[in-house]
Amino acid sequence: MKRRSRPAPPHTKPIIRDIFGDEWSVFEQRKTPYGFPLILGRPYPPPSVQGGSGGTGVIMTAPLAAHLRANERTPYRKPLPVGHGSVIRLRALLGLDHLAWDDARIEWWMDRLDDLAFLPVPTFVAKHIGHAWTRSGKLSEALVWNMRVALIGRQRQVIGWWKAPAVQKLLTSTLPGPVVAKRLNISLARVGELRRKSRALHKRGRR
């Protein structure tokens, strides 16, 4: 004899729509200092999947979407009461690609590589703090020093040193990056950047 299934309990949670038109049951609202709450909920009606309806997720409301778009370049300058992984997923929903953002951040540093190599750290901060491409929009001396070590290494060279024939021979060789980095006393990231520059240099020279 089959058991009679129990009727589902009446739904008592508020229902709202996200910016995509999907309905959600509201389970929680978290205050923010930006004039709108962060609303968490579950899809409504709940999906018929084994294992229950799962946990709650952040609902993409219009004020939240506007906040994320307004802070596209500095996603953590005005933090939300949710983890960084959730912020990355929310940005992805709006087409704000985190990997593209990270590439743009590295490019910002690369465009200022000569300043990073030769300016004193406080001078670099003073010159570039107004338009820093960082997660928080801030530019500290500690961050500048860390990026200098990561991209250039602890020993700085004169501008254009990597174009010297002996250095070019290493950069265009098939030697592994760590071997080249050790011989030139630079970071592995710097080797990758200089190899890209060397390929572009030789490509222009063949035209």
pLDDT digits (tens, 9 = 90+) for 2-51: 555 555 555 678 899 999 999 999 999 999 999 999 999 999 887 765 55
The set of residues, in sequence order, having a beta carbon less than 8 Å from that of 34 and lying 6+ positions away, is: 63, 67, 78
**CB of 24 closer than 8 Å to CB of 59:** yes
Whole-model pTM: value is 0.53
Instruction: Dump strand ranges (E) for the chain.
Output: 15-17, 23-30, 38-43, 57-58
Instruction: Convert the pLDDT of each residue in 107-161 to its tens digit.
Output: 888 888 878 877 778 888 899 988 887 777 788 888 888 888 887 776 566 567 7
Give the confidence band of 195 by pLDDT, cuts at 50, 70, 90.
very high
**C-alpha 203, offset from chain centre:** 31
Token look-up 């979407």 returns 65
Write down the pLDDT at residue 154. Answer: 63
Give the confidence band of 81 by pLDDT, cuts at 50, 70, 90.
very high
CA-based end-to-end distance of the chain: 84
Write down the pLDDT at residue 53. Answer: 52
Question: Domain spans of the chain?
Answer: 15-96, 104-205
Two structure tokens written together for 73: 């370049």
**CB of 146 closer than 8 Å to CB of 153:** no
Write down the pLDDT at residue 31. Answer: 95
Core vs surface per residue 32-54: b (16+ CB within 10 A) or e = beeeebbbbbbebeeeeeeeeee
* 3-state SS class at 166: helix
Count the helices and strands in the chain (H runs, E runs): 9, 4
d(CA 71, CA 67): 6
**CB of 132 closer than 8 Å to CB of 138:** yes
